[in-house]
Amino acid sequence: MTEELLVELRHIHKVFTTRHLFPVDEDTRKRRFFKRRNVSAADDVTFGIQRGEIFGLLGPNGAGKTTMVKMISGLVRPDKGQALVDGLDVDKKRKQVLRRVGVVLEGTRTSIWPLTPLENLVYYGMLKDVRGPILKQRAHDLLDFIGLKDKKNVQVRRLSRGQKQKLAICIALIADPQVLLLDEPTTGLDVQSSRAIKDKVMEMTRHQGRSVLVTTHDMHVAQELCDRIGIINHGRLVACKRTEELLDVFSEQIFVFKVERPPAPEAFMELPGVVRTEVEEGLDGPALVAHLTPELEPRSAALYGLTRKLEQDGYQLRAITQRQQNLESIFLRLTASDQPSE
């Protein structure tokens, strides 16, 4: 294993078999039967997470994100390949790995609602062999850090959804793990709670040196939070780069040509380097919006070709501006393929 990687997945394969129940035929009254289908949750997936890094894993529903989290934490075994945490094989050294990993899974009720946050942390700490004054001090420190100090003696059932999510993160951190796995940590939260959790994740990573894997549907959270991003689709890792590099390499370059009258967008589609064109009507008049290839030389040629054709066709060009793309547009491009056949 590479020395700087705290988490590593090597050529992971995982297939689940699903069964679909068909209804009884009302005419023949034949018995119901199941149709089996194999679904690939991981197809030769390889990536690593460095020490002190926040790694984002993005993908549509059912793409395999939660399966990756469960394989790193030892909850699911891969059919092929190897998952490593701090050099330890998750499948062979599961108990040792669990001491190094904290997990927050989407949709699971981690905390015990009749207990208080402080009682929850003491209970889970004892389960993880953290005891005595160290446990009490760590529980108080975590509640203070996450912003639940004034709620430490309130029953969990009385907390808001955002506060319960914060407590779930505290529970994952009570044994002081080196790796924190967060599966959709901001789903269903309001803007303030989502921002608070994002800020705390960044703080604990930067100041405490933990490695964090975040799966999320919130592109804004991923773009602001993550050092590197992997995009998974149908079990395949279709991109894995630093966030700024991903934005640079995979972004279509969008240029807006302000003109005095609307042009016909289809007239520009045959120019090399042009991906697509459309016309927008704004308060300051019409504009030709051109989506160009991200490669430098074809993009430069396309810019020259568009400008020249507008002038040749008699359009008065008033301004050219570039429109910045975000992570959401790249995600939609990379995951726009059809569903695989059965």
> What does the pLDDT read at residue 27?
65
Residues 6+ apart with CB under 8 A from 51: 4, 5, 6, 178, 209, 211
Looking at domain 252-324, what is its CATH homologous superfamily?
A: MTH889-like domain (3.30.70.1340)
The hierarchical CATH code for the domain 5-248 is 3.40.50.300
Distance in angstroms (rounded) separating the CA atoms of residues 315 and 328? 33
Q: What is the pLDDT of residue 1?
A: 41
Of 252-256, 293-297, 334-338, least confident by mean pLDDT is 334-338
Where do the domains of the chain lie? 5-248, 252-324
Residue 33: its pLDDT value, please?
58
In this structure, are residues 218 and 194 in contact, taking their beta carbons and an 8 Å threshold?
yes
Q: What average pLDDT is seen over the chain?
A: 88
Among all chains, which residue has been given the structure tokens 């119901």?
A: 32
85-136, pLDDT tens digit by residue? 999 999 999 999 999 999 999 877 889 999 999 999 999 999 999 999 999 9
Distance CA 297, CA 294 (A): 9
Q: pLDDT by residue (tens digit) across 139-164?
A: 999 999 999 999 999 999 999 999 99
Q: pLDDT tens across 33-76, in order?
A: 566 788 899 999 999 999 999 999 999 888 899 999 999 999 99
Q: Which two tokens stand for residue 34?
A: 């199941």
How confident is the model over 233-258, as pLDDT tens digits?
999 999 999 988 887 777 668 899 99
